[in-house]
Structure 1
Amino acid sequence: MGSLTLDAVTQALRNVEDPIFRRSLGDLGTLLDVRVDEGKVRAKVRVSSPSEEVRRAIRERIDAALEPLDVQFVELDFEVNVPTREATSTDPIPDVRNVILVMSGKGGVGKSTVATNLALALRRLGTRVGLLDADIYGPSLPTMLGIEGQPTSKDGKRIQPLQRFGIKLMSIGFLLEDPKQAVVWRGPMLHGALQQFVTDVDWGGLDYLIIDSPPGTGDVALTLAQKLRLTGAIIVTTPQEVALQDVYKSVSMCRKLNVPILGVVENMSYFIDSAGVRHELFGSGGGEKIAEFADAPLFGQVPIDTLVREWGDQGTPVVQAAPASLAGQAFGAIADALAERIAKEHFDRGGGESAPAGEGPKRLRILR
């Protein structure tokens, strides 16, 4: 026990490598505090992603680093400090740290399902999340989240988004008297509605604002890219070749608009039958092809799961209703991958020397 000194423990922890940035905690300046008391170690580490996988990896590396020192007990505090995008002086939502556009070149690939469950998975990580239904002509998020009613205003100027499961939501669906009513608008009216949803909605402080865009490469993505400093886009596809041709166009549009492509999600990838046999009903490899074309990671593959449809129709998405299901786990892993990718993007844009800046840390404690 003579080797268990504060200096020895501190040096061991300083050498632990951050799994996202691939640099030591000491170099990054994210080892915030170390205390040693009678064989017990207490440490505080700042992480730039709420990902459970990141916290697990750091915990395992700290355990390995302290094993030679015969530590009896480790209490590890994490400060989760989500990085902040570089908003311009005219940005209408400066208190929103990251704005993520969920896109697909083709309808019917489950983009809205992915956006909704991704938002809930990020919320389950303890972050503050908003969801903007920018699919003006086919708003489905109120149904998916089981929200009814109309937004109100506290001051007569800004609209209060509706909330469920800790998610703030705004959709044109809230403003329609009849949900079966068609939205027949020309371009200027669509632009006006989008601008109002962004500038006149009181989103408050958010770590992530997920925007569910309509399928295709039309005016919505162009308007949002011009009005907001987007953190990046997620491309949603299905495995079959017929879906890929349109998705390639979404990737090309992002490049033309200088919107970073954060990653790709392959939805309806496979089906597991009652005997545990995997069936690729729509083929395979579509997600990998899009990821390679976009030079972005494949965040994950979401299986065909009847629970997604059953719970979604009841207004409780599968991540909320059945997080341990195959689809629920897939969305959880995708949320982890997205949060890690965003942290790495901020790190690289900042020069790759120190952990990216953020405000308002959240604390999580792990004991061993």
Structure 2
Amino acid sequence: MRQATASLISGAYKVVMTPEVPNRQTVRRQVTDSRRSSHASTSTPQWSSGSLRWSAESRLSAAVSTSEPSISATQISPDAGKEQVLRQLARIIDPDFGQDIVSCGFVKGLMVDPQSGQVTFALELTTPACPIKDEFERKARDYVAELHWVQQVDVTMTAQPQRPMTPDEGRSGGLKSVTHVIAVSSCKGGVGKSTVAVNLAYTLAQMGARVGIFDADVYGPSLPTMVSPEVRVLQMNPDTRQIMPTEFEGVKLVSFGFAGQGSAIMRGPMVSGVIQQLLTTTDWGALDYLVVDFPPGTGDIQLTLCQSVQFSAAVIVTTPQKLAFVDVAKGIRMFARMAVPCVAVAENMSFFDGEDGKRYYPFGQGSGERVKQDFGLPHLIRFPILPELSEAGDGGRPLVVAHPSSPTAESFMELGAGLVREVAKMQRLERNAVRYDAADKVFVCRLPDSSRPEFYLHPAVVRRNDTSAKSINEWTGEKTLRDADVPEDVEPESVQPLGNYAVQITWKDGFNQVATFDLLATLPEHTLPLFSVPAIDNV
């Protein structure tokens, strides 16, 4: 599995070095020039507000420190050694946050002993499942080892400490020590949602996270078939009166199928109560991710789950058929109304590779891509029609566990990495990326990765460019909303962020709109009128 991770990293990430740090040839030339001159600067570069700031003098100091020694290690103070180490580590850029790892606050517990050449520190990442943690560790060791006085580099990879959730934050009871709850959903049955959910959970575990799976389908639980734990019946803790999850391959499991009653025949409200009780009264312990396998549909069960628990993100499972797009769009809008950001689309049964070496698409193409484009979801992962995938699930051992080096396991690794990245970015997200200024009657936009630091949009323009089924024919793609149907003075009631990609706008007439950042970035900018001072008559 480590090989799969490395393959993913090399294909999806790029760790870059800041241009201020000179290369070896430049270093040697600067050191030679400095030795010829008796005026080489000895000033120490300054760190300000967590960011590395370079002056012309500090660049020369950096050049000297990374080349052949001009001074002995005994002449370097611990403070100067720390500055040099931090300077080296600042060459590593986090590709998601766009900042160096020092400015991100990842470097902890730095200890330097120039006399012995010992350097010790920890890299505290946002999650233990960070898909590029091995790359960070390797770069950190290599860059620090370039310092002439360094003999040994000890790096400890850790994750930020978990903050207990409060009832006000939507986590109580057995969920209070769960950092992120992830929904895996589809509005159409038979698309392989449970297969994706189980393999995603075990992929996150292989990435280093503490993971649990909750099977929320009471009518037809799939988890007891797809995994084979030794203990197949849920137990009750007599002291806490909480349900104890069973476990398989290091992942905690809870399903109504493990309650010893099989599938249930119940009315909707009763089912919602059973699911809520199972989820919230289970002693999950400390988890980084709890994957919830939603039942298909958008009814009472799904709404109750979203209202009872604060979900960090959702993954949508679909198939290539056009009919599947219609159902999935309903699910995404449901999550949008509940302020749950959808971060990825898993297009299952997308293709198969024939014996002739050609790739075939028996169910057509385009449904997943259209979901990604229309709703601005950042990740689309396609999974093949593969007998081994079904056989692994039916045999009680998920494919990513049974065949961790297979191409399909690598696709699940890509899905897991995308999920981890989006959830981590949400923790640092600008909550007011899009807000409504009631005084000027404009949307104020500060979009991530935008070339414009701030711009304004007229509310009527945003409303007229709605891409939902109420405004565009889902089958033909033709616009059905007429511009004249939207009044110029239309105003929003509320604006809520949806992850890193969109906002949910509720208009005063009750209309709900999901506006993606990609869409907003293409709309014509609104110019605010210049402020004018009225003339004062002479007395």
TM-score interval (norm. to shorter): 0.7 to 0.9
Kept in 1: contact 2:131–2:207 (CA 8 A): no
Instruction: Kindly indicate whether the alpha-carbon contact (under 8 Å) linking 1:19 and 1:54 is maintained by their aligned counterparts in 2.
Output: no
The 1:295/1:86 distance shift into structure 2, 3 A limit, reads farther
Change beyond 3 A, Cα 1:276–1:150:
same
Asked if the contact 1:103–1:234 (Cα under 8 Å) also holds between the matched residues in 2, the reply is yes
The one-letter code sitting in structure 2 at the alignment partner of 1:273 is G
Instruction: Name the structure 1 match of 2:106.
Output: 30
Contact 1:20 1:54 in 2 (8 A): no
The residue matched to 1:263 in structure 2 has which SS? strand
Among 76, 83, 91, the residue aligned to 2:171: 91
Give the whole-Å Cα distance in 2 for the aligned partners of 1:314 and 1:152.
24
Whether the 8 Å CA contact 2:129–2:209 is kept in 1: the answer is no
Q: Residues 133-282 of structure 1: matches in 2 within 5 Å?
A: 133-147=215-229, 149-155=232-238, 157-177=241-261, 179=262, 182-274=263-355, 276-282=357-363
Q: Is the 8 A contact 1:14 1:31 kept in 2?
A: no
CA 1:36–1:292 in structure 2 vs 1: closer, same or farther (change >3 Å)? farther
Query: Residue 31 of structure 1 contacts residue 46 of structure 1 at CA under 8 Å; is this kept in 2?
Result: yes
Letter of the 2:124 partner, please give it.
Answer: R
Indicate conservation of the 8 Å contact 2:144/2:153, yes or no: no
Q: Which amino acid letter does the alignment assign opposite residue 165 of structure 1?
A: E
Deviation at 1:12, TM superposition (A): 1.9
Q: Does 1:10 align with 2:74?
A: no
* Structure 1 position 286 matched with structure 2 position 367: yes
Match of 2:210 among 128, 132, 136: 128
State the Cα distance separating 1:116 from its structure 2 match.
0.3
Question: Whole-Å Cα distance in 1 between the matches of residues 164 and 235 of structure 2?
Answer: 29
Cα pair 1:99 1:232 within 8 Å, conserved: yes
Q: Tell me which moved more, 217-226 or 293-302.
A: 293-302
Task: Tell me if the contact between 1:98 and 1:209 (Cα under 8 Å) persists in the aligned partners.
Answer: yes
Q: Secondary structure at the match of 2:232?
A: coil
Whichever residue aligns with residue 109 of structure 1, its letter is: V
With normalisation by structure 2, the TM-score equals: 0.60
Is the alpha carbon distance of 1:57 and 1:229 closer, same or farther for their aligned partners in structure 2, counting shifts above 3 Å? same
Greater Cα offset, 72-81 or 155-164:
72-81
Q: Is the 8 A contact 2:145 2:153 kept in 1?
A: no
CA shift digits 1:316-355 (9 cap, x unpaired): 0101110111211111221111111111111115799xxx
How far did 1:53 drift? 3.4
Number of the residue aligned with 1:363:
none
Which string of whole-angstrom CA distances, capped at 9 and with x for unpartnered residues, describes residues 42-79 of structure 1? 54211113346322443465477558656787543221
- Pick which of 136-145 and 190-199 moved more: 190-199
Q: CA offsets per residue over residues 207-248 of structure 1, 9 Å max, x none?
A: 111100011111122111111111121111112212111111
Q: Is the 8 Å Cα contact of residues 236 and 266 (structure 1) preserved in structure 2? A: yes
The match for 2:394 is 313
Against the structure 1 CA distance between its residues 58 and 275, is the aligned structure 2 distance closer, same or farther, given a 3 Å change threshold?
farther
Q: Check the 8 A contact 1:105/1:246 in 2, yes or no.
A: yes
Distance 1:167-1:135 versus aligned 2 partners, 3 A rule = same
Larger radius of gyration: 2
**Shift, 1:287, TM fit:** 1.8
Q: Secondary structure at the match of 2:190?
A: coil
Q: State whether residues 186 and 318 of structure 2, in contact with CA within 8 Å, keep that contact through their aligned partners in structure 1.
A: yes
Contact 1:12–1:66 (CA under 8 A) maintained in structure 2: yes
Q: Which residue does the alignment assign to 1:360?
A: none
The size of the alignment, in residue pairs, is 349
Q: Deviations over 1:153-211 (max 9, x none)?
A: 1216111111111111111112244x4xx522112211220121122211111111110
Hey, what does 1:359 align to over in structure 2? Answer: none
* Structure 1 SS opposite 2:422: helix
Q: Judge conservation of contact 1:139–1:172 (CA < 8 Å) in 2.
A: yes
| Greater relative CO (CA pairs within 8 A, separation 6+) | 1
AA partner of residue 125 (structure 2): V
How far the C-alpha of 1:277 sits from its partner, in A, is 3.2
Conserved in 2, the CA contact under 8 Å of 1:263 and 1:338?
yes
TM-score by length of structure 1 reads 0.85
Structure-2 residue corresponding to 1:297: 378
Are 2:97 and 1:21 equivalent residues in the alignment? Answer: yes
- Corresponding position of 1:328: 409
Provide the secondary structure at the position in 2 that maps to 1:136: coil
Partner of residue 128, structure 2: 50
Give secondary structure in 2 for the equivalent of 1:26.
coil
Choose from 159, 162, 174 the match for 1:80.
159
